[in-house]
Amino acid sequence: MSARLLVTQPGPQTTVQDLGRVGAQAYGVPVCGALDMVALRLANALVGNEPGAAALECRLIGPAFTVEGGPVRLALAGAEATIQVTCEVARGDETRSYPAWRAIDVPEGAGVRIGTLRGSGAAVLAVAGGFDVPVVLNSRATDLKGGFGGLGGRALTAGDRLPVGTGAPEGPCLELPRPPSLAFDGMLRVVPGPQDDAFTQDGLATFLGSTYRVSREADRMGIRLEGAPLAFHTSADITSDGIATGAIQVPGSGLPIVLLADHQTVGGYAKIATVISADLPRAGRLTPGAELRFRAVSVTEAEEARRALEREIAALVASLTPVRAAAEIDLAALYATNLISGVVTACDPE
């Protein structure tokens, strides 16, 4: 029997995402995928999935749902949040709270509520087995603008039933003993180009020398920045060309827009620089009001930074260990569970 999540509260924008839809950009199909690939990979590792299994991306506030049709193992990564699991027990409902960065076994019938995200605007909730939505053009990622992929090509709404893939979790629940720091140092590294020559020397100096602020217009397509406008040597308009995730395009207003996962495949505004792939997860975590600066690096430095990030992710995955006894669980529950293996199921019968 395969489990499902019955969505009771969807959260502001919860979508099914994976590592993205590659191979169809030449047809105008955007890549999409999780804004924070590190969070996706860690959440999947915590529940024993492949790195690119389809998971839920939560924005600002997580969803609430009921588990139907069987138990699920789940984990939230990429933000701090309180995960409340409510089960019916003999004496009434009982709620336990869990942190992010660990797997939780949730029995059939339990309610789960993920609260406000802290430290990032984009966390990932993975379930063991992944979400079993149809593969469209090689990916399960939701394309919100195209209206396909994920669950019906849209964000979750109350009443949705999300099928969980088969593959029962084995072994103890894992946790990440030292989660990566979400503190943002305010710096995104960029490779200048491909149209840095559309700007004046002053424009380039302004771009690399001033502080920008994330505006309210920030979504999965991109982040509009507020701050000093950039002066053009030529103009904002170019003959449309291809766009990579992280490209910083500058329309006539002179204010940069950092393009994220759902960006269009080609565009006609000059692109002053591209955020390096190692810093894209950090860009994906930004919320309105955040301040940031840009620092130029070479392609070679950017490629090395990416390899360094991959080594970091590999080390984090290698550090996963069985969950230690959680402080919030009462003693009776603790004694009823196997502390050595760390098998702690939410709402074990007392």
Partner 1 sequence: MVATPSPDQNRLGRLARFLGVGDTAFAIEFGTGIDPVLNARVHRAAALIREATFPGVVETVPSFRSLLVHYDPLATGAAALQEAMAGLDLGEAVVSAPERVWVIPTLYGGEAGPDLDEVARATGLSPAEVVARHADTLFRVYVQGFLPGFAYLGVLPPELELPRLTTPRVRVPAGSVAIAQRMSGVYPVESPGGWRLIGNTPLRFFDHAMTPPTLFAPGDGVRFRPVEAGEHAAIRAAVARGDYAPEQEAGR
Q: How far is the CB of 252 from partner 1 (least distance, A)?
A: 10
User: In the chain, where does DSSP find H-type helix?
Assistant: 37-46, 201-209, 280-285, 299-318, 331-336
Task: State the number of binding residues for partner 1 (CB under 8 A).
Answer: 50
- Closest approach, Cβ 143 to partner 1, in A, equals 8
Q: Which amino acid is at 251?
A: P
Work out how close the CB of 90 gets to partner 1 at its nearest, in angstroms, rounded to a whole number. Answer: 49
Q: Please tell me whether residue 312 binds partner 1 under the rule CB under 8 A.
A: no
Of 219, 291, 303, 348, which one interacts with partner 1 (CB under 8 A)? 303
Per CB under 8 A, does 277 bind partner 1? yes
Name the percent of the chain in helix, strand, coil, to the closest 5. Answer: 15, 35, 45
For position 244 contacting partner 1 by CB under 8 A, the verdict is: yes
Q: Is 317 in the site for partner 1 (CB under 8 A)?
A: no
**Closest distance of CB 196 from partner 1, Å:** 9
- 194 scored as a contact of partner 1 (CB under 8 A): yes
Question: In what side-by-side order are the strands of the sheet with 92-98?
Answer: 92-98, 83-89, 111-114, 64-68, 4-9, 161-163
Length, in residues, of the chain: 350
User: Is 276 a residue that touches partner 1 (CB under 8 A)?
Assistant: yes
How are beta strands 72-77 and 55-59 bridged, if at all?
unpaired
Binding string, 15-54, against partner 1, x = CB under 8 A? -------xxxxxxxxx------------------------
**What is the Cα–Cα distance from 264 to 247, expressed in whole angstroms?**
11
From residue 32, alpha-carbon distances to 15, 18, 114, 144, 262 in Å are 11, 8, 23, 9, 5
Residues 65 and 279: beta-carbon distance below 8 Å: no
- What angle is formed at CA 42 by the lines to CA 331 and CA 24, rounded to 5 degrees? 150
Among 71, 121, 246, 281, binds partner 1 (CB under 8 A): 246
Report the site for partner 1 in 253-272 (rule: CB under 8 A): 264-267, 271
Residues 92 and 102: their CA atoms lie apart, in Å, by 26
Choice between 246 and 342, CB closer to partner 1:
246
Q: State which residue, 138 or 157, has the beta carbon closest to partner 1.
A: 138
Give the residue, chosen from 185, 239, 318, 331, that forms a contact with partner 1 under the rule CB under 8 A: 239
Residues near partner 1 (CB under 8 A) are 22-30, 136-137, 143, 145-149, 190-194, 238-247, 264-267, 271, 274-278, 299-300, 302-303, 305-307, 310
